[in-house]
Structure 1
Amino acid sequence: MALQKHTKVFTVFSFLRLQSPDIFWYQWIYPSVIFAVAFGGFQWWGDQFISFDKDNLISDINAFMGILVGFYIAALAAVSSFSNDNLDQIMKGRAPTLTTVRKGAEIKETLTRRRFLAIIFGYSATLAIILYIFGVLQVHLIVVQPTEPWAQTIMTFIRQMTWGLYIWIASSLLVVTLLGLHYLVERMHRA
């Protein structure tokens, strides 16, 4: 538990620790399916059907991420401060739970609507920041290609893994954003 006080920066990833019969689909399955279609489709058929300027695409995505970060933080602030008794009720149905350790004891918390939305928008803001940083590095860093064949193979593998991670994070951001918007548009108005 000595490291517990140093893990506070990872609280924003609490969404991935939520437990519910349904939430696993939004955490892992849907983002992975979107990733497989996007990444796999481009790997196998992309050169035949798609031609794009990668640097301009990343610049445009970065501009969008800059806007999204502000949206998510504003949504997080609004959810946290909005006075509505419905937000402080335990979610109906198969409500997600979150297990945390406080003062050495495990606490299993059934989430309120406010806590659930705060977790969603905190996670989304973090993913948008990560994508933004990745985009800035992609646009401004130039990696010199090695001359050795084995090093080129390793660099190609690292490049593919990095792009795969980028696409999975973008897929997760899309799914979680749609979940959060669904909840704000539809579920918040049903008590």
Structure 2
Amino acid sequence: MALQKHAKVFTVFSFLRLRSPDIFWYQWIYPTIVFVLVFGGYQFWGDQFLTFDGDKLIGDVNALMGILVGFYIAALAAVSSFTNENLDQVMKGRAPTLTTVRRGNEVKETLTRRRFLAILFGYCATLAIVLYIFGVLHVHLTFSQPAASWVQVAMSISGQVAWGFYVWIISSLLVVTLLGLHYLVERMHRA
């Protein structure tokens, strides 16, 4: 309970705590499918068909993230302040729920469209910031080659895990952005 007041910084990951029969696909399944296709495909067949400059790719992704962070924060501000009665209605169908602890009690909230979109764009903004930081660190940090072979193997494995994590975050960002755009383009204007 004492740690809860310090966990506010993790509120931006509330999207991963949403529950609904459908939302799990957008949280984990679709991003993982994209990840397996991209990362796995490159690991198995990439050397045969693709060559690219990793630093330039990271630089281009970072340029995009710089733009997307602003877009997500603007979308979050717009959704939070836009006056539209449809946004304040509970989502129809199998609406997502979010369970939080308030004053020691669990509260299960069925989300309105406004709350759902705020959670979604807050999550996207956070992923874009994380990707940007990862890219900056990748471009500006270099590791010296250790002499011990086991350390080289450990660093190689760590590097692959980091790249996998990076690709999964990009996959998640892509899928969740498309979901958010669907709601902005289509669902927000229907009752």
Query: Which of the five TM-score ranges fits, normalised by the shorter chain?
Result: over 0.9
The alignment partner of 1:7 has SS state of helix
Partner of residue 163, structure 2? 163
| RMSD of aligned Cα (Å) | 0.5
Gaps of 5+ in 2: none
Equivalent residue letter for 2:77: A
The alignment partner of 2:107 has SS state of strand
Question: Which structure 2 residues correspond to residues 34-45 of structure 1 after superposition, within 5 A?
Answer: 34-45=34-45
Equivalent residue letter for 1:150: W
Q: Distance in 2 between matches of 1:73 and 1:141?
A: 28
1:125-161 deviations in Å (ceiling 9; x for gaps): 0000000000000001001121211111100000000
The alignment partner of 1:2 has SS state of coil
Partner of residue 28, structure 1? 28
Question: Which structure 2 residues correspond to residues 124-163 of structure 1 after superposition, within 5 A?
Answer: 124-163=124-163
| Deviation beyond 3 Å, 4+ runs, structure 1 | none
What's the TM-score once normalised by structure 1's chain length?
0.99
Equivalent residue letter for 2:54: K
The alignment partner of 2:145 has SS state of coil
Partner of residue 122, structure 2? 122
Q: Distance in 2 between matches of 1:185 and 1:130?
A: 26
Whether 2:72 is the aligned partner of 1:56: answer no
Q: Distance in 1 between matches of 2:150 and 2:86?
A: 59
The alignment partner of 2:114 has SS state of helix
Gaps of 5+ in 1: none
What's the TM-score once normalised by structure 2's chain length?
0.99
Partner of residue 15, structure 1? 15
